[in-house]
Amino acid sequence: MKLNHGRQLSFRVGIGFTLAIILIIVMIYTAPINAGSESVLRVANSKAWKPYSFINNSGEPEGILIDFWNEYAELNDVEVEFVLVDWNDSLEAIKDGRADVHGGLLWSEPREEFLDFAEPLFEIETQLYYHQKDVGNDISPLLNGEVADAIGAVKGGYEEYFARKEFPKANILVYSTTKELLIAANSGRVTAFVSDLLTSNFYLYSSKEPLSFVPVQYLYSGDLYPAVKKGNESLRNQVISGFTNLTDENRKGILQKWMYIETVYPTQTLWLVVVVVTAMILFFIAIFRRHMISRTKHLEDTNQRLMKLSLTDVLTGISNRRHFTDYIESLEKDGHTISVMIFDIDNFKNVNDTYGHTIGDEVIRFVAQVVKTELNSTMHFSRIGGEEFAIVALDLDFEAAKDLAQRVCRKVHQGNRSEGYLNQLSISVGCAFYEECSGNIDIVKADHLMYRAKKQGKNRVVVEKV
């Protein structure tokens, strides 16, 4: 039976309307979920970069950066999935789309070509490590490639990029993970290696020979940034916005959690102790107790050395930037005047370019030793950058603070001139004097005053009340 024309038209309209409704429902239920609510954010990083990101013995992601991203996920109602692989592969994961965000890495020009960086999370410090039996030997032949010995670094890490850039003639060997790098170092395949301070401490101080390698030269400090694939501006903004929800208290809590290394006895050793104690009863209980006392003291000594190492600048023996920051934050400000001095070595790049980095290190040590003679035990003296230093003095009046800054500047310039590279050596000093301070103290004001001193001709002091 055939429908007439009107009924055919009505039938077609009804069918079309029904299909349209079905299509709309399907689109609603299959549309991409809005990123930042229930979507999965894939975060890439290294699987063996202790203590920043690694896979623990239970097969779970763990580390400082993992904690940062878990906190990010909780505060922003985002599900985070970690893609932990070899370091170099973590970069490839961003390139080929296996991950959306890199959890944290240093900026470099090659990385800028395929990544857009968000805001920094925290700073790390990197050193050149040398076997302790060779400490004191000249490392210039190694850095200049004059010997066959090699320097180790993690493949694809900023350490490899820095080593190849700064020591282009050196023999650089790369390894997939820090663990493989340390195995190569302990087996003698590399004489030295480049690694950030905290990572090396975690691996070295949980090894059988915690002091086999020691840091001998500060190389650089830098911030770790989250990063997204080049051009993904919306995700970059989402990451920046999300991390603003992390308070300073959140950040400090995560970092302090990972500040110390815990050395745990292997399970096999514990079973052996149980068997021996059971078999030999009281006699071996006494031996075990003496062993535990000795081992505990060893661990305490190791932790003390580690704490001192983490707060001391290896090159000069004075406090490092981390110790300086902790000291500033812990200052009792009420009832004290506070003088914050920042200075750096004038024209230091010329020293490195003319005489090399080894002589540059000698100049830094020389300046530190000269300045220490002008300070007393109540003053805090730190190296906070390559050739940059800081002094904090309490309870000086304005004139005394000004006099101290001028003495330091003058003493460096009038120091020992027995070596050619010390000729014309000078520093520029900025001193911020806080007569009363109710708020936070930072180095920004003193830093600006130091640059004013440089603009005025260098080898001088600019002091100002804040």
Average the pLDDT over 220-231 and give the result.
94
Give me the active site residues, please: 387
Residues 96 and 238 in one domain: yes
Query: What is the residue type of 243?
Result: F
Average the pLDDT over 242-262 and give the result.
81
Across 262-386, where does the E strand assignment appear? 338-345, 380-383
Residue 246 CA to residue 248 CA, distance in Å, equals 7
User: How many domains, the chain?
Assistant: 5
Residues 328 and 194 in one domain: no
Residue 197 has pLDDT above 70, yes or no: yes
What's the Cα-to-Cα distance from 371 to each of 26, 236, 374, 443, rounded to whole Å?
74, 45, 6, 19
CATH of the domain at 373: 3.30.70.270
Q: 447 phi and psi, to 5 degrees?
A: -65, -45
Instruction: Give the N- to C-terminal CA distance of the chain in Å, as an integer.
Output: 98
CATH of the domain at 69: 3.40.190.10
Mean pLDDT of the chain: 83
Tokens read off for 216:
């001998």
For residue 278, the model assigns a pLDDT of 62
Residues 57 and 132 in one domain: no
DSSP letter assigned to residue 211: T
Query: Per DSSP, what are the bridge partners of residue 339?
Result: 393, 433
Q: Which H or E run contains 443? A: none
Residues 371 and 425 in one domain: yes
Query: What is the residue type of 386?
Result: G
Provide the 3-class DSSP secondary structure of residue 446: helix
Residue 315 lies in a domain: no
- pLDDT higher for 185 or 24? 185
Residue 112 lies in a domain: no
Query: What is the residue type of 49?
Result: W
Q: Give the model confidence (pLDDT) of 337-371 as tens digits.
A: 999 999 999 998 888 888 888 888 999 999 999 99
What's the Cα-to-Cα distance from 2 to each of 15, 186, 276, rounded to whole Å?
17, 91, 99
Residue 272 has pLDDT above 60, yes or no: no
Q: Give the model confidence (pLDDT) of 100-135 as tens digits.
A: 999 999 999 999 999 999 999 999 999 999 887 777
Residues 330 and 460 in one domain: yes
The string of DSSP codes covering 94-158 is HHTTS-SEEEEE---HHHHTTEEE----EEEEEEEEEEGGGTTS--HHHHTT-SS-EEEEETTSH
Query: Per DSSP, what are the bridge partners of residue 86?
Result: none
Establish whether the linkage from the previous residue to 110 is cis, with ω within 30° of 0. Answer: no
Q: Give the model confidence (pLDDT) of 20-76 as tens digits.
A: 565 555 454 444 433 433 479 999 999 989 889 999 999 999 999 999 999 999 999
Are 401 and 431 a contacting pair, CB within 8 Å? yes
Residue 130 lies in a domain: yes
pTM over 0.75? The answer is no
Are 345 and 449 a contacting pair, CB within 8 Å? no
Residue 70 lies in a domain: yes
Average the pLDDT over 130-148 and give the result.
85
Tokens read off for 441:
């103290």
Provide the 3-class DSSP secondary structure of residue 167: coil
For residue 35, the model assigns a pLDDT of 40
**HEC profile of 145-157:** CCCCCEEEEECCC
Report the DSSP pairing between strands 338-345 and 427-434.
antiparallel
Q: Measure CA 186 to chain center.
A: 24
Residue 113 lies in a domain: no
Across the chain, how many H-helices and E-strands are there? 16, 17
Which residue, of 208, 225, 242, is where some domain finishes?
225
Out of 15-24, 219-228, 322-331, 446-455, pick the least confident.
15-24
Are 155 and 48 a contacting pair, CB within 8 Å? no
Residues 454 and 397 in one domain: yes
For residue 213, the model assigns a pLDDT of 83
Residue 201 CA to residue 4 CA, distance in Å, equals 88
Residues 374 and 425 in one domain: yes
For residue 453, the model assigns a pLDDT of 94
Residues 66 and 13 in one domain: no
Residue 353 lies in a domain: yes
Provide the 3-class DSSP secondary structure of residue 173: strand
Q: Give the model confidence (pLDDT) of 432-455 as tens digits.
A: 999 877 667 778 899 999 999 999
Per-residue confidence band for 263, with pLDDT thresholds at 50, 70 and 90: very low
Q: 446 phi and psi, to 5 degrees?
A: -65, -35
Tokens read off for 157:
């890490």
For residue 103, the model assigns a pLDDT of 95
Alpha carbon dihedral 390, 395, 400, 405, in 10-degree steps, equals 0
Per-residue confidence band for 259, with pLDDT thresholds at 50, 70 and 90: low
Residue 274 lies in a domain: yes
Are 331 and 443 a contacting pair, CB within 8 Å? no
For residue 14, the model assigns a pLDDT of 57
Per-residue confidence band for 264, with pLDDT thresholds at 50, 70 and 90: very low
Residues 337 and 426 in one domain: yes
Residues 352 and 336 in one domain: yes
- Backbone region of residue 356 per phi and psi (left: phi > 0; alpha: psi in -120 to 50; beta: other values): left
Maximum average pLDDT range among 134-148, 154-168, 189-203: 154-168
Provide the 3-class DSSP secondary structure of residue 260: coil
Q: Measure CA 462 to chain center.
A: 32
Which residue, of 303, 329, 364, is where some domain finishes?
303
Residue 305 CA to residue 303 CA, distance in Å, equals 5
What's the Cα-to-Cα distance from 365 to each of 71, 217, 251, 316, 377, rounded to whole Å?
41, 11, 33, 5, 19
Provide the 3-class DSSP secondary structure of residue 398: helix
Q: Measure CA 195 to chain center.
A: 10
Q: Which domain holds residue 62?
A: 40-103+233-257
Residue 118 lies in a domain: no
Using the Cα atoms of residue 126, residue 51, residue 205 and residue 175 in order, give the sign of their dihedral: negative
Residues 24 and 54 in one domain: no
Q: 219 phi and psi, to 5 degrees?
A: -110, -50
Residues 269 and 240 in one domain: no
